[in-house]
Amino acid sequence: MRDRALILSVLIVASCGLGYELIGSALASYLLGDSVLQFSTVIGCYLFAMGVGSWLSRYVADEDVLDRFVDVEMMVGLLGGISAAVLFLTYAWVAVPFRTSLYMTIFLIGMMVGMEIPLVMRIFNHQRTEFRELVSRVLAFDYLGALAVSLVFPLLLAPRLGLLRTGFLFGILNAGVALWMIHLFRADLHRPREQTLRAVLVLGLLGTGFVFSGQLTGWAEKGLYGDEIIHAETTPYQRLAVTQWHDDLRLHINGNLQFSSRDEHRYHESLVHPGLGAVPWARHVLVLGGGDGLAVREILKHPSVKQVTLVDLDPAMTRLFSTSQPLVALNKGSLKDPRVRVINADAGRWLEDNAEVFDFIVVDFPDPTNFGLGRLYSVPVYRLMARHLAEQGYMVVQSTSPYFAPRSFWSIDATLKEAGLHTWPYHCYVPSFGDWGFILAGKRADYTVPDKVGVPTRYLDSSTMAELFHFPADMPALSMPPNRLNEQSLVRYFDEDWRKVIR
């Protein structure tokens, strides 16, 4: 019975140990971007700390192994369980360098997790288990637990429970193992009553955190965004939060501002009308990204357009902007218009599987903050887009800021050219973001700025539209390499450019 209990505890603690590692990596990538860097550094720090913990376990006396294992489980459960909540709150409210807090927390958790397996093996050794059987059983269940959580975490826990509640759940499992070990080995422990009380207290704290994790998330996001949160949800793809302050609605994805209702018209009018106005015959339009329906709203103003195909990865995004009354009012119900076809799919895969040709294409992806997004700005993907573009049509790409992130902007321009397209860069001022850039591209080599907008607008007119294509002396064109899939240099440029601005 004790052997089976120990083996099951190995499965649980291995699952929880990897879970804390995944939570730390995911939280860091949500808040800091550049997922490859965050996952690599968090995993490296965690594995190093586990090695330190394994080495420190040698100083536990044989007669104290059971007691120390129980204590370690409680400490891992408590610190690991609250880690996501503490880090999120720290990022939002506390004037402490987040990276310092992140790596200190990861190191402490990893060090204690590193002590677990050596201590369990020594407990088995006390049960006089043969060494060969001991190693094979412990390591087999250790790896099995890691496999289980590596599948369950991205498919079920993170999208359904969120990172904070998932952290509390893993902590409860660790503390539960401690309480179970106290029950089974009570006669062999030195302070079973005291340890039982501590384990129950830890379970109570973690259970309370699990129940109120939604409120904790809301409190943290209140500090992060400053405004009242009217909608927040974690989807399998991202964290969505809509905030409101007086008449200003704002959408945040993974903590990054996507638009403000006070000035989004500047962005979306500039995104759509300079290109679509130059092809007044356009009937079929493709929008990649843009699940908020705001670009679609502008497209539908053109009477020639008969069908708009919107391809956005996240069904929660398009559902939100099709059902929420204030958001539907903002996009004028564009996603429910009979001329609009909404497809929830990965844009790159959809382009590969589809053969339709469009007169105008709008590419409104989030900024290339990580390699998953960066691939959508690469040469192969732009070549795919070109296959779907009519010979006399145009496509326009959201291209970050030519002022704050000039290397990123001109790298996107170079990437479009490498894909065989002619380009016409332009920019506009959006108060929420600053100076923002777009690149118009086409197979045809000619483009003339329309002499009139031709549809109702709040910002653009004929003179304003012509000014979009003028770059002042302090925003010169840069010679940059294209963004290729095997290098993803654009993600590095974007991170370095914006890091200078933040400093």
Q: Give 175-238 as a DSSP string.
A: HHHHHHHHHHTGGG-S-HHHHHHHHHHHHHHHHHHHHTHHHHHHHHHHHHH-SEEEEEEE-SS-
Tokens found for residue 178:
């401690």
Do residues 116 and 177 share a domain? yes
Total count of domains within the chain: 3
Do residues 43 and 100 share a domain? yes
Do residues 146 and 12 share a domain? yes
Q: Is 252 annotated as a binding residue?
A: no
SS (HEC) of 417-479: HHCCCEEEEEEEEECCCEEEEEEEEECCCCCCCCCCCCCCCCCCCHHHHHHCCCCCCCCCCCC
Q: What is the dihedral of CA 15, 20, 23, 26, to 10 degrees?
A: -100
Q: Please say whether the beta carbons of 43 and 380 come within 8 A.
A: no
- Alpha-carbon gap, residue 332 to 384, rounded angstroms: 31
The pLDDT value recorded for residue 72 is: 93
- Alpha-carbon gap, residue 319 to 23, rounded angstroms: 27
Do residues 214 and 233 share a domain? no
Residue 201 makes CB contacts below 8 A (sequence gap 6+) with none
Q: Please say whether the beta carbons of 119 and 60 come within 8 A.
A: yes
Q: Is 312 annotated as a binding residue?
A: yes
User: Kind and range of the H or E element at 392?
Assistant: strand 389-398
- Alpha-carbon gap, residue 423 to 405, rounded angstroms: 18
Do residues 206 and 244 share a domain? no
Residue 358 β-bridge partners: 389
Considering only CA atoms, which of 34, 16, 157 is closest in space to residue 99?
34
The pLDDT value recorded for residue 132 is: 66
Q: How far is CA 379 from the centre of its chain?
A: 23
Q: Is 142 annotated as a binding residue?
A: no
Residue 284 β-bridge partners: 307
Domain endpoint, select from 168, 201, 225: 225
Q: Please say whether the beta carbons of 217 and 164 come within 8 A.
A: yes
Residue 362 β-bridge partners: 287, 396
pTM assigned to the model: 0.77
- Alpha-carbon gap, residue 412 to 406, rounded angstroms: 10
Amino acid at 444: R
- Alpha-carbon gap, residue 277 to 339, rounded angstroms: 19
User: Kind and range of the H or E element at 242?
Assistant: strand 239-245
Query: Which residue bears the tokens 């357009």?
Result: 305
Q: How far is CA 346 from CA 93, 128, 212, 282, 491, in A?
A: 35, 55, 34, 25, 19
Phi, psi of 242 (to 5 degrees): -110, 125
For residue 164, give the CATH number of its domain.
Answer: 1.20.1250
Do residues 313 and 273 share a domain? yes
Amino acid at 77: G
Domain endpoint, select from 170, 203, 225: 225
Catalytic residue list: 364
- Alpha-carbon gap, residue 402 to 411, rounded angstroms: 10
The pLDDT value recorded for residue 447 is: 96
Enclosing domain of residue 66: 1-225
Tokens found for residue 427:
């920019």
Residue 107 makes CB contacts below 8 A (sequence gap 6+) with 45, 46, 48, 49
Do residues 88 and 137 share a domain? yes
Q: Is 302 annotated as a binding residue?
A: no
Amino acid at 21: E
Q: Please say whether the beta carbons of 182 and 196 come within 8 A.
A: yes
Do residues 157 and 288 share a domain? no
Do residues 191 and 232 share a domain? no
pLDDT in tens, 255-273: 788 999 999 999 999 999 9
Do residues 253 and 269 share a domain? no
- Alpha-carbon gap, residue 328 to 332, rounded angstroms: 6
R_g (Cα) of the chain, nearest Å = 27
For residue 388, give the CATH number of its domain.
Answer: 3.40.50.150
Q: Is 292 annotated as a binding residue?
A: yes
Do residues 37 and 73 share a domain? yes
Residue 248: strand, helix, or coil: strand
User: For 267-370, where are the E strands, in sequence order?
Assistant: 284-289, 307-312, 340-344, 358-364
Residue 148 makes CB contacts below 8 A (sequence gap 6+) with 11, 15
Domain endpoint, select from 257, 275, 303: 257
Considering only CA atoms, which of 54, 182, 167 is closest in space to residue 112?
54
- Alpha-carbon gap, residue 173 to 151, rounded angstroms: 17
Tokens found for residue 198:
């501590």
Do residues 252 and 312 share a domain? no
The pLDDT value recorded for residue 328 is: 96
Q: Please say whether the beta carbons of 318 and 312 come within 8 A.
A: yes
- Low-confidence stretches of the chain (pLDDT < 50) are none
User: Kind and range of the H or E element at 174?
Assistant: helix 158-184
Q: Is 347 annotated as a binding residue?
A: yes
